[in-house]
A and B are shown apart, each in its own frame.
Chain A
């Protein structure tokens, strides 16, 4: 068992919309759906926003916004232009040696503009003692709101992330966050490891859009495996699909947590199991995320599936009958290279 506390969710889905130059109304629509999921904050790139400069007023009615700025250029005026009061300074690996000095040079201006400042630090290996102590002092001096650990390459592993987050937490007075890259499919695991180490904020996106941790995986894993106390938003899967639709993207049918096929069972043993007690083959109830269970008739079906289907139609199948029908189902499924529809099933029964 791993215990975790509810982090602040920093969404990056909206950032994808900004990059794609969505109009103000489209941004507001996505923001509304993110808020429906319980996400309170989004981070957007101010350099990307600068291209079209869409109004963010409607977005900010549902979400708090933080503006991402590179530490090197640190174009703080953009925050004011966008009407944003929180900025996240993005520090690359190359800048790490001169990080503290650079921070000392830009933070006074930020303070003057009354901006709340957080950091997003690209990581590679362990932090040096010099960096840690410099960072701790700077964070104290300028009341840095949070320091986020950024595994940009996605090559981090959960045990290393846990260790580094723990170190940051022990040295910094401010909250520590995680932004896990997903190039190797490890972002969810790395994010959970960070939460286990006490990370107070998580940067993620719906479906992992943009290459970061998939929010719905982190949320549900934290809740189901990590025993995080959290209410699941109504129709989580449906809302995520709608958000994807706003980008003209389909959700992969077997996408964890929200894919339309994840509660579709065809294999005879699995259908038999879930019919007796769903938890035999389901990690949580489909209704929890707004999906429903489907029993698919196909190559892997067993006679139990057929008996269940026909019983629902008021027909009780004999053993001999169901065996014959099953052979027909398997043949047809292999010929068609897909599952069998109810009508095809009925025709098979009538012709047998």
Chain B
């Protein structure tokens, strides 16, 4: 395991985590979670998506005003409305996500790769004109070609992005494949890589550890692994595995992370919402 930097964790409990169907955090809950993550030594907090509306924007402002040491940033699509909403909230660091696989570009957006690059260029330009720092997200990277990811990384670094997120958007990777691709990419990528796992086959933690071992500078996690479908890599579980290897960097507190995860698991309980879902034979 290479030595991990203290800010290697990028927590997205409040954004990707909250996307778990039926889950809503109140503004106060979001604030409490953000403060707790900060105190646990998490370096980056993806707080939400301001363009979603006034309630979300309000919650964002509360967090930005809370004196948090971690870098609190917003999630954005590559369009002017999203960027403007983030800037209006007061965000100084923006994550801008674009799809990188043929499947997502052609079938979801029904556009061309060139169109996606133009959108990204304009969005980054707008954000930077407000003095904001940027990270770029490569959505569905695990189903894109390595060259497609690197092409996006080349553009991103030219535009001034600080890192690039490799998203295993539908959770189809496994540790050996991760080792191969992350090793390959980190040797060629002009930006540090953030690995973003999903847990569709119960492999999110293992994949995240494999990514860190193979050259990933950052990883995305959520408290208790909450998130879309079967969730994301769990903050407390990833740290527990790193603790076995004595690889938890100074300042990151495993006990605090476990506590946050228990609390988030409790307030994100959706058993009653899905109890009547036992349909089908």
Are A254 and B210 CB-contacts (below 8 A) given A221-B202, A238-B280, A280-B107? no
What residues of chain A lie closer than 8 Å to B108, measured between beta carbons? Answer: 269, 272-273, 276-277, 280
Interface flag for A350 (CB, 8 Å): no
Contact A330 B55 (CB under 8 A): yes
Determine the distance from Cα of A334 to Cα of B24 in the docked complex, in whole angstroms.
6
Partner-contacting stretch, out of A44-52, A77-85, A101-109, A185-193: A185-193
Given the contacts A189-B206, A299-B24, A196 and B176 also touching, CB distance less than 8 Å: yes
CB atoms of B170 and A283 under 8 A apart: yes
**A280 touches which of B103, B271, B279, B281 (Cβ 8 Å):** B103
Q: Is the CB of B103 within 8 A of A279?
A: yes
Chain B residues whose C-beta falls within 8 Å of the C-beta of A339 in the assembled complex: 21-22, 273
A336 to chain B, nearest CB (A): 8
Q: Which of A158, A238, A270 contacts B176 (CB 8 A)?
A: A158
A261-B22, A265-B228, A300-B18 are known contacts; what are 13 more A-B pairs with Cβ within 8 Å? A186-B241, A188-B206, A192-B203, A193-B175, A250-B271, A254-B199, A256-B202, A257-B201, A277-B103, A277-B107, A294-B277, A299-B52, A338-B273
**Given A257-B201, A338-B24, is A184 in contact with B172 using a C-beta cutoff of 8 Å?**
no
Task: Determine whether the beta carbon of B199 is less than 8 Å from that of A256.
Answer: yes
**B19→A221 contact, CB < 8 A:** no
Instruction: Determine whether the beta carbon of B174 is less than 8 Å from that of A225.
Output: yes
Can you give 13 contacting A-B residue pairs, CB < 8 Å?
A: A158-B210, A225-B173, A253-B270, A254-B230, A265-B21, A270-B19, A273-B108, A277-B103, A281-B169, A282-B170, A283-B201, A334-B55, A338-B24
Asked if A11 is an interface residue, CB under 8 A from chain B, the answer is no
- A296–B22 touching, CB < 8 Å: yes
**B residues bordering A, Cβ < 8 Å?**
18-24, 26, 52-53, 55-56, 77, 103-104, 107-108, 140, 169-177, 179, 199-207, 209-210, 225-231, 234, 237, 240-241, 244, 270-271, 273-275, 277-281
Task: For the complex, give the distance between the alpha carbons of A48 and B205 in Å.
Answer: 33
Flag whether A316 is at the interface (Cβ < 8 A): no
Give the shortest distance, in Å, between B146 (CB) and chain A (any CB).
15
Given contacts A261-B274, A334-B26, contact A192 B174 (CB under 8 A): yes
